[in-house]
Every structure is written in C-alpha cells, then in structure tokens.
Structure 1
Amino acid sequence: MNQPSITADKNILERSRNHRNPRTARAVRETRDRLQSSKLQNPKFSGELLSSYLRTASISTLVMPLLVVLSTGFGLILFDEQRLIGWAAITLAAYAIQALLVKRASSGQPSQRDIASRERYLIAVHAVTGVCWGAFAYTECLQCTMNYYVFYKGVVLLIAIAATAMSSFALRRLPLLFFAVPLCILYLAGSSLMDTIEMSVLALLISACALFLFVSNRLFGLQLELLSIQSEKDWLIAELETAKSMSDEARRRAEEANLAKSRFLASMSHELRTPLNAILGFSEVMRNEVLGPMENETYKEYASDIFRSGDHLLHLINEILDLSRIEAGRYHLKEDLVNLVELVSECIHMVDIKARNKDIAITRQFERVLPKVWLDEKSMRQVVINLLSNAVKFTPNGGAITLKVGWTAGGGQYVSVTDNGPGIPEEEIPIVLSAFGQGSIAIKSAEQGTGLGLPIVQAILAEHGGQFVLKSRLRHGTEATAILPRNRVQVDTPSIKTPDTDKIRRRKFA
C-alpha cells in the first residue's frame, strides 16, 4: 500500500477546517445588531446621519456667507442701511466658526461619545447663526417711506430658511432652532407696528417655516429608510459572503475526501485482485475436477457457486477501480487508430449468446465507409459492451435491439444502441447516470447491477472528449448514444501529384 500518499491525504483532510472570515463574521454581527435596534436611537445610524450632515454643511458654510454678503450689499445699495455692515461682520464670524467646527467634526473616526458631543456644539453654533438672522429681522429702515424694506427682509429670510432647511435636514433638531429664533424676534420686533404688510410677511414666513420643517422631516425619514436599506443590503452581502465561504470550504473538503477515496481505491487494485484471483483459480480447479473427480456432487456445486460469486465480485471490483482511477486522474488512454464498425461487430459476438437465449433480434445499421478514429480500443470496447449488456438485460424476451454506427452532424462518429424495453422515467435519468445509481425498473428486475456501467461509459467518453446521451420513454424503450468528436476522426490527406518530368523538359526545350 502507498503509505506516503495516504499520509498526504490525511494531512490534507486535517488542514481542511470549517472557518469563517473574521471580518465577514464581524460585519454580519454588527449589521444584525444595527437592524434589530431602533432606527432613531441606533448609534450606527447616528454616525452616518452626522456624516451626511457634515457633507452638506461643508457646502452650506460657503453658500450662507455669500448670502450674507449679497444681502448686505443690496441693503446698502437699495436702502443705505449702514447698520447691516456690523450685522454682516458678526454673522460672517459666526459662519466662520461653524465652518471650523464642521471641518473639525469631519476629521477622524468619532466614537459614540464624540458623535453626541459634536452634535451638541453643531446645534449650538446653528443657534448662534439663528440669533444673527434674528438680528437681521430686527433691523428697521428709518428713512424708508414705503414697506419695501419689509419685503426685502422677508425675501432674504425666506432664502436663508430654505437653504438651512435643505442643508441640515440630517439633524432634525437644527432647522427647528434656526427657524424659531429669527421668527420670534421678527414677531416681537413688529408687534408695536403690526400693519397689514408686516402681518402678510410674517404669515408667509411662518407658512414657509412649516413647509420646510415638513420637508426636512420627510427628508430625514427618507434618509433613515435609505440607511436601513443600505444596512439590509450590507447584511445580505455579508451573509452571502459567509455562505459562499462556507460553501467553498465544504466543497473543497468534499473534493479532497473524494480524491482521497479515489486514491485509496485505485491503490488497492493489487491487494484486492491477488486473493480474488487465487479464489477464482482454486474454485475453477475444483469445479473442473482437474486433480481428480469429486465424489460428492454437493461440493462440486459449491465450487461452481464460489467461482460465479468470485467472478461477479471481480467484475464489481474492476468497475469500482475503473471509476476510481478516472476520478483520481490516473486513467490514461492508450490511443490508436481503430475502425469503429469492426470494434462494434466484435462486441456483438460477446453478447450474442445471451441475446439468443432471450430470443432478442439485434439489427445492425452501419455506415458503409467510415474512416478510423483515434481512441483507446480497450476502453471503447468496454463502452460498447456495457451499452449492449444493458440493452440485452432490460429487453424482454422476443424483443429487438437496433445498433447504429455512423456520422454525427458535426463530423464525428457515434455508436447508438436502441432497445424496446420498459424504458426509464425522465426524472430517473440523472439518477441512472450517477455512480451506484439505479432506476426503479432496475431495482425491480431480477438482474440487478452495480449501477456503475453508465457512469463509467460517461467518464470514458469524457476522457475522449466525447459525449454520452441517454434518451428514454417509459414503456417505449431506451436509446443510448456514445459520441466521439470530430478531432478524433482520421483525416485522409490527398496525395500530392508530382508533375511529369518529361513533359516539363519538353516544354522547356520546345
């Protein structure tokens, strides 16, 4: 026995352990915890919401100062309101502080405690900017005779409200603080002279606040839903990665175990056949009475039973070893040019006696002229004998078998065996083609085989680069076709015609 090979197989199996990628497992655990917790109180969502806010706030810190500068410029040009300069300086300073805080909050990977603290000081700085906009709402134009300044303040505040609502919806409390402070100040500032124009502007701003609060809340909810969907997608991807990792590991272990089994069976050929050949030899000597007659007929029958049982066991071992050698990659073809029609004709003679005993007629339909093909003659003979033996086995007494040899549509050659036996149910064909698989009809029959004939046929044809096709209809019969590819057919190269030297010489000197 090949001890180093078995030891190597054992080492392979020992190294094959079911493992999961730790990063994948950790991602699955974190995502599952995130989905099982509340959306609003989920710390992972809080961090992602803060990151979303910081991305939009970095743009807002550039847009809002521009709005402050433009508002101040228009106020100076249209109304000559000098107090807006001081307001603009204070407001720009507040937005500068906000920009620094946003930049600081964007750096690094914050912990849960850092996320809460950053949210607090961002809310505080928004409250400061809200107070600045409230101061803008508080300003009055003393030299203005009409209420144009009221419209001007209303438009500016409306733009500021819209910009802030769209940029800070990821933190739902910020717009509420920002909107409430300037509106309250505007209401208090205009309470002494609350005319129709101011009431209209105040009503417009309150309506705009309500609308943008509703829109920001909806956007906040959509953001949470998107984060939840993203988490579910991450969870599914992590689960798929884990399942794929486990599946790959299980498949690898199964392949290694199957390879170890095939190597073991292939290496047991000598150990199994040697004692069995001795059993067959001695039983045949006893059955044929080579060393003298056996007085007891019972012993002679026992010797015949031993020989038949040993011969059946040898046939079974040969089939198992053939399949094991193919699976282990130790099945090497000895290719030669063979005439397929002659090979099939020889195989018919080997099953002809059994077919006559069952009164089965074998019809031949062979192509007249077929070139030789490159194949392993012994293996192909085994293929044809297996197909013929199965056909004879399952064809009833008085049945018929049709044997065809010819060209395929692709230029290859094929051998087809068709019987009119009971057939195979369509759902059992994959079972029949698997190792040790037997259909329901084969199990019920008196002549049960090993279930290795067709898998061996399929494997041998695969080694030749060919194909095995099995078609059957219940109670109508079965057709088994072995197909050899075109590249195995011998190509007859036409002979090169040499020109007549005398004719060339005559043309030359003419």
Structure 2
Amino acid sequence: MGELTAQIVQQGRGPALQGAVQRRKLAKEMRSAREKLTSSVGLERSYEYELVRLFAQYHSGSSILLLVFATVIALVSSLWVPIGQTTSWLCIAVVVIGTMLLLAQRFLATPAEEVRLAEWRRRFILLELITGLTWGLAVQTLAHVEAGTNGFALFVVLMVTAVTTSLSATIPLAVYLGLAPLAAIALSIAANQRDFDAIMLLAMTSSAILFFVILANRLYSSALSTIQSRSEKDAMFAELEQAKANSDEARRRAEEANLAKSRFLATMSHELRTPLNAILGFSEVMQNEVFGTHATPAYKDYSADIHASGQHLLTLINEILDLSRIEAGRYELKEEAVQLAHIVADCRHMLALKAKAKNQTFREFLDPSLPRLWADERAVRQIVLNILSNAVKFTPQGGEITIKVGWTSSGGQYVSVKDTGPGIPEEEIPVVMSSFGRGSLAIKTAEQGSGLGLPIVKGLIDLHGGGFQLRSKPREGTEVIVTFPAARVIDALPAVDVERRKKTQAA
C-alpha cells in the first residue's frame, strides 16, 4: 500500500492519482469507440440522440406554422386549381404534418435510455420523404395548370426548401430525401420551358436548392459541434464536482485529524507536564544540594543537565501547544493597554546575559513616547522574545543586534530586529516559516531549537491583525519586522483643564 502523503491529502486524491486519471480516460475512449462502432451514423449514442431530439423538437414546435403555410398555399392555389383538388391536397398535408407532430411528441416523451435511435431515425426520414412528396404534389399541380403559375410554384419550392433545411438539418439524410421531390419537379419544369426568362428563373431556383443543401450540412456540423462542446463542458463540470467531493472528503478527514491532534496534545500536555514538574523540582533540589553535599561532585553537574533538559522539554511542549491552539483558532487574546517599547526593553534585558556570554552588543532605537497598544501582553512578549532569541542564537561571537520600535507609515507601530548572522537563502525562507523548519546555514552554525519560533510569531501577529516580514540574504544577516495596525493604537486624549471647566460651570 502506497504512502498517503500530505500533498495527496491536500489534492483530495488517492495514492494512485495519475494511474486513476489515465484509467478513466482510457475507459472513456473505449466507451466512445464502442458506441461509434454500434451507431448507424458513426457517432456516440449521446450525440446521435441529441441530434434526433433536436429534429423532433423543431418539428413539434413548428407544426402550427406549417399548417398555416399549407392552408395559405391551398387558398392561393384555388385561384387556378379546382377547389376540390386543393381541399384534398390540404387534407393530405394536414395528415402528414399531424403524423410528424405525433411522432415527434412521442419521441420526446420517451425516456432517453429506452429510445431505439436507428428505428426512430428511419421513421423520421421516411416521414420527411412523404412530406417532401406532399409539397411536391402541390408544386406539380400548379406547374401543369398554366404557364403563369410557374412563378408561384417556384416560390413554393423555395419556401419549402428553406423550411425543410431549417427544421431537418440535424438529420442530413432527411433533408436530402425531403428536397429530392422538389428538385426533381423543378428540373422537369425547366425541361418543358423554352422561354429564356423562365429558364433563368428555374436555374436560380436550382441554385437556391443547392445552396440550402450546403446550408443544411453547415447547420448539421454546427449543431454537432455545439452538442460536443456541451458534452465536454458537462464532463468537465462532473470532474470538478468529483474533485470538489474529494476535496471536501479530504478536508473532513484533515479536520478530524486536527481535532484528534488537539485532543492528543491536550491530554499529553498534562501527562507530560506532571512528571516534568517533578523532574525539574527534584533536579533543582539536587543541583542546589538542599539536603547535603553530593558524595561525588559530578552528580551536581548531572542534576544541572537534567534540570536544563527538562526545562528545554517543557518549553518545547508549551510551544507546540501554543502553535496548536493558534492553528485551531482557539487561542484567545486577553487584550489590555500595553507599552510596546517597555515590553521590548524588558525582553532585551532578559536576554542580556545570554548575549553577553557570546560578546554580542545591542543597538536600540526605541521611541518611549509611543502611545499604548490594545493587545495581549503575553502574546506580545512571546513575539518579541522569539525574534530576539533567534537573533541571539544565530548571531556569531562579537556580532551586533539592532532593535527598532517606532511608527509605521499607516499610523501603526512596529518592532524590527536585525542581526549579523549567517542569513537565510531566499529559497529556504518558506522552509523556515513552516513548523519545525530550519535553514541549512542555521543548522550548521546555530544552537539547536524546535523550529516553532517564527510560525508562532506569525500566528500571534495575525491574531492581532498585524503584519510579518522576513528579510534575509546569505552572509548579510536577517531582519524580522512585525507591525501592529493603526486600529490597535490607543490615541491619548488631551488633559482636562479643571479651572476652565469650573468657570464654565459657574457661568
């Protein structure tokens, strides 16, 4: 079984992501090829069904207009043709149009999975041929009455050709068979004509029929392209929905894992702190020789090492718990008015002995006149201590650390700590900002640490709505800047003039 990495969980996929994608693609191609082989027109079933459905939908929606058109032709033809003959033709046209309407509605009412496409295509093609013969009958009747009716007959041919092309373009064979009787009648009329103007009119009619045939092919290609594009879009939406479902499932699992981690840390923190307090207490008693001098002097050094190791482990546990609460959104700020410059000065004083042991010097540029901030004092102290302790750790013997506290350009306040340490390569900055991350130069030159200092600083400053910047280059040192927004600065109110207030009240 493959390893479930964090990247795979983040993507919401299984371990065999590429293989699953390739298998789905291959299965889709095989299904498409199988449908094309079994199709009567060489298309996938879904595409063929959509084309036939469009044919039925167009004919179902235009039946009334076709009936009106047939009625108008019958009325106009009655000027030259006996009324009984035109009435008979109109009845035939009504039956044919009504049959097409019933078939189209029946097809649209049938579920897609139950439709036999080949059979329905044959039905529609045959009925379209019958419709073309019906229209051709009317044109043939008009053409044989007298020469003066040829113009109206050719007009009917053009109108029927346009209607057939627009309604039946999604089944090209239906267009060809529907226009074949009209084209044959137009050619027969041309063969019996000797007048040049009539021959030119018939030639233009024939050209128009050819144009509509080409137009029908274009409409078919356009409809097929539209259906294919819509199918690809639907497939893409399905992929996106599946990816979203996978992502939601991965997020749910991550949340469950995070909750389990928080519960584990909450439980283990108590289980670890209890024996650690005993270790720290007893090791401190042994280190200070409260109950008498050790028989062996080395025991005092051992107890000091035990106490230092326990203290380090307790600090690490506290940092892990702080970061866990920040990531889970459960770190509650206890806000109050604090003086940023004073907190920085206190933290610098706490690290003074450690810096002095490495012969490091501090350069301070603190503005004591800064107004107070509305912030969590413990969190601010932890922010400053973390970045100052990092500077002390990474600055070599005899190095210099510069501390600045002042105003930001937007009216907030900032703390800047710059050291003269080894620096961090640009590509390693994301690593340093991750939990337990350490740069390569830092590992070689600095003291060991948990790698949680900067992530905790980033999390705490984000809770205050501030900003965090890390600027560093190899062998040029590192500068960390944290900023607090102007909204957290407490503006000082002007002093109350007591004497003037008394005079105002007396007046």
Q: What do residues 380-425 of structure 1 show as CA deviations (whole Å, max 9, x unaligned)?
A: 2222111111111111222211111112223222211111222222
Q: 1:468 to 1:501 in 2, by over 3 A?
A: closer
Alpha-carbon contact 2:423-2:478 (below 8 Å) kept: yes
Is 1:120 matched up with 2:118? no
Is 1:347 matched up with 2:344? no
Alpha-carbon contact 1:35-1:228 (below 8 Å) kept: no
Q: 1:323 to 1:189 in 2, by over 3 A?
A: closer
Distance in 1, Cα, partners of 2:386 & 2:179? 89
Q: What do residues 296-330 of structure 1 show as CA deviations (whole Å, max 9, x unaligned)?
A: 34434333332332222222222112222333444
One-letter code of the match for 1:210? L
Within 5 A, what are the aligned runs for 1:57-96? 57-77=59-79, 79=80, 82=83, 83-96=85-98
One-letter code of the match for 1:267? T
Query: Match for residue 302 of structure 1?
Result: 302
Alignment partner of 1:139: what SS? helix
Q: What do residues 344-375 of structure 1 show as CA deviations (whole Å, max 9, x unaligned)?
A: 11111111122222222211101131222233
Alpha-carbon contact 1:431-1:438 (below 8 Å) kept: yes
Alpha-carbon contact 2:404-2:415 (below 8 Å) kept: yes
Structure with greater contact order relative to length (CA < 8 Å, sep ≥ 6):
1
- Displacement of 1:97: 2.8
One-letter code of the match for 1:391? A
Distance in 1, Cα, partners of 2:352 & 2:123? 98
Over aligned residue pairs, what C-alpha RMSD do you find? 3.2
Query: Match for residue 11 of structure 1?
Result: none
Alpha-carbon contact 2:143-2:153 (below 8 Å) kept: no
Q: Which moved more, 1:456-465 or 1:225-234?
A: 456-465
Q: Which moved more, 1:401-410 or 1:92-101?
A: 92-101
Query: Match for residue 42 of structure 2?
Result: 40
One-letter code of the match for 2:175? P
One-letter code of the match for 1:416? S
Distance in 2, Cα, partners of 1:73 & 1:330? 85
Is 1:133 matched up with 2:138? no
Alignment partner of 1:481: what SS? strand
Q: 1:277 to 1:80 in 2, by over 3 A?
A: closer
Q: 1:111 to 1:380 in 2, by over 3 A?
A: closer
Q: How many residues align?
A: 479
Alignment partner of 1:465: what SS? coil
Query: Match for residue 153 of structure 2?
Result: 153
Is 1:371 matched up with 2:371? yes
Within 5 A, what are the aligned runs for 1:134-213? 134-139=136-141, 144=146, 147-184=147-184, 193=192, 195=194, 203-213=203-213
- Displacement of 1:338: 2.4
Alpha-carbon contact 2:190-2:202 (below 8 Å) kept: no
Alignment partner of 2:480: what SS? strand
Within 5 A, what are the aligned runs for 1:179-328? 179-184=179-184, 193=192, 195=194, 203-328=203-328
Structure 2 portions without partners, runs of 5+:
1-11, 15-23
Q: 1:175 to 1:500 in 2, by over 3 A?
A: closer
Query: Match for residue 400 of structure 1?
Result: 400
When normalised by structure 1's length, the TM-score is 0.84
- Displacement of 1:206: 4.3
Structure 1 portions without partners, runs of 5+:
1-15, 19-26
Alignment partner of 2:351: what SS? helix
- Displacement of 1:135: 1.6
Q: Which moved more, 1:205-214 or 1:238-247?
A: 205-214
Q: What do residues 450-471 of structure 1 show as CA deviations (whole Å, max 9, x unaligned)?
A: 1011111122223333332222
Within 5 A, what are the aligned runs for 1:413-428? 413-428=413-428
Query: Match for residue 465 of structure 1?
Result: 465
Q: 1:163 to 1:332 in 2, by over 3 A?
A: closer
Q: 1:142 to 1:212 in 2, by over 3 A?
A: closer
